[in-house]
Amino acid sequence: MNADTLLCKPYRIALLVGMMGIIPFGYFVRFSKALNAPLLQDIGGSLAYQILLMLGVAFLSPRRSLLKCALGVFVFSCAVEFLQLWQAPFILAVRATWPGRVILGTTFNWWDFPPYALGCMLGWMVIRQLRQRFTSKPSS
């Protein structure tokens, strides 16, 4: 794909708008008292987080293959999940803050991995559609 095509303004604006939309959606799903369904809140928040990361990587590196983007985001998220097993004092101090809890999480859970994979697949599909719409050629 032509590099200039992927750097086009409408494509990158669409990625930015997607990020700005998924953030409040993710927070609503994860923290809304109205839902009152902890499992769905956890899964929905994880899906939104993965899609946000996918959109962010595509925005920062628009020429990158979407497959590499999805794999990289999945590996990163898995690494952050495994990092939750590490209980060093300085990382506990970071997790004691609201941003630390939101970004790094607090509790390791094997059941977080399937939503990470699904979120990366959904992110791949969304970004692929954006590339097809705003650029001349689709990409994988």
Structural domain count of the chain? 1
- pLDDT at site 1: 52
Residue 104 lies in a domain: no
- pLDDT at site 134: 85
Domain that holds residue 38: 3-76+111-134
Residue 118 lies in a domain: yes
Q: Which residue has the higher pLDDT, 124 or 135?
A: 124
Residue 90 lies in a domain: no
pLDDT band at 61 (very low <50, low <70, confident <90, very high): very high
Minimum mean pLDDT range among 36-40, 57-61, 98-102, 136-140:
136-140
Listed residue (121, 8, 117, 135) closest to 59, CA to CA = 8
Residue 49 lies in a domain: yes
Separation between Cα atoms, residue 27 and residue 52, nearest integer Å:
12
Residue 94 lies in a domain: no
Residue 86 lies in a domain: no
pLDDT band at 138 (very low <50, low <70, confident <90, very high): low
How does pLDDT run across 83-107, given as a tens digit for each residue?
999 888 988 899 899 888 888 888 8
State which H helix or E strand residue 64 sits in.
Answer: none
Residue 122 lies in a domain: yes
Mean pLDDT to the nearest integer, 52-65: 94
Separation between Cα atoms, residue 122 and residue 64, nearest integer Å:
17
Residue 27 lies in a domain: yes
In the predicted structure, residue 35 carries a pLDDT above the cut 90: no
How does pLDDT run across 71-86, given as a tens digit for each residue?
999 999 999 999 999 8
- pLDDT at site 137: 55
